[in-house]
């Protein structure tokens, strides 16, 4: 792969985009950036606060500006927000400007991995987290696949193993 190319991680909440992305950046000596974190840096507040004050549409506008900017950077590993693929312009930026890896996780695995945190507004106030995750998954799985250069199932696989597989696939795309 072109050393200057960026790697964009997409997938649902709890797929491991942040965890795998950090580790992948270290392994490949590429800067790691998380679009959710970038939104928080730019606004000076956290994501639950943005949802509270501006609703999801306000958050999506901010996310769109960040995706447009960050996908112009070369040589980065970018972990994207779980809903970033909803916007067609975001999908075009991601698909056209880097190597897109879809970290797939079953709803059971997403539930387990998001159980202990309360920083995800779409899950926080829901009585039925499974139902929310299933609905989001059915809407978004086709969108993740539409732009993915590589789809990896993350269930019961360590971040270390996933990083190794991404590294191998980048070195030899036919493997």
Ligand X SMILES: O=C(O)C1=C[C@@H](O)[C@@H](O)[C@H](O)C1
| Residue 73 labelled as part of a binding site | no
What are the contacts of 40-46 at 24+ separation with CB within 8 A? 42/66, 46/119
Q: Which stretch binds ligand ATP (CB under 6 A): 12-20, 24-32, 42-50, 91-99?
A: 12-20
User: According to the binding rule CB under 6 A, does residue 154 interact with ligand ATP?
Assistant: yes
Kindly tell me which residue out of 1, 5, 18, 153 binds Mg ion, with binding defined by CB under 5 A.
18
In the complex, minimum distance from the CB of residue 146 to ligand ATP, in angstroms, rounded to a whole number: 18
Closest C-alpha to 24, from 14, 13, 34: 34
- Please report whether residue 14 would count as binding ligand ATP according to CB under 6 A: yes
> Is residue 22 part of the contact set for ligand X (CB under 6 A)?
no
**CB-wise, 1 or 122, nearer to ligand X?**
122
- Residue 157 is assigned to a ligand binding site: yes
47 is in the binding site of which of ligand ATP, ligand X, Mg ion, none (Cβ under 5 to 8 A by kind)? ligand X
Q: Should residue 132 be labelled a site residue for ligand ATP when binding is judged by CB under 6 A?
A: no
For ligand ATP, the closer CB: 11 or 25: 11
Indicate whether 66 belongs to the interface with ligand ATP (CB under 6 A).
no
Q: Which stretch binds ligand X (CB under 6 A): 88-96, 102-110, 119-127, 166-174?
A: 119-127
Total number of residues binding ligand X (CB under 6 A)?
9
CB of 111 to ligand X, least distance (A): 14
Please spell the DSSP secondary structure of the chain, one letter per residue: --TT-EEEEE--TTS-HHHHHHHHHHHHT-EEEEHHHHHHHHHSS-HHHHHHHHHHHHHHHHHHHHHHHHTT-SSEEEEPPTTGGGSHHHHHHHHHHEEEEEEE--HHHHHHHHTT----HHHHT-S-HHHHHHHHHHHHHHHHHHH-SEEEE-TT--HHHHHHHHHHHHH-TT-
């Amino acid at each position: 792969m072109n050393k200057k190319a960026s790697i964009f991680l997409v997938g649902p909440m709890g797929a491991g985009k942040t965890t795998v992305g950090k580790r992948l950046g270290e392994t490949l000596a590429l800067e790691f950036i998380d679009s959710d974190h970038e939104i928080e840096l730019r606004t000076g507040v956290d994501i639950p606060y943005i949802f509270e004050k501006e609703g999801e549409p306000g958050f999506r506008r901010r996310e769109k500006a960040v995706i447009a900017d960050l996908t112009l950077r070369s040589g980065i590993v970018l972990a994207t927000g779980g809903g970033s693929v909803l916007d067609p312009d975001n999908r075009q930026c991601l698909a056209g400007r880097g190597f897109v890896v879809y970290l797939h996780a079953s709803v059971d695995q997403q539930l387990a991995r998001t159980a202990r945190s309360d920083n995800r507004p779409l899950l926080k106030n829901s009585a039925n987290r499974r139902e929310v995750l299933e609905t989001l998954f059915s809407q978004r799985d086709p969108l993740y696949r539409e732009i993915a250069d590589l789809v990896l199932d993350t269930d019961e696989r360590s971040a270390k193993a996933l990083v190794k597989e991404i590294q191998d696939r980048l070195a030899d795309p036919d493997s």
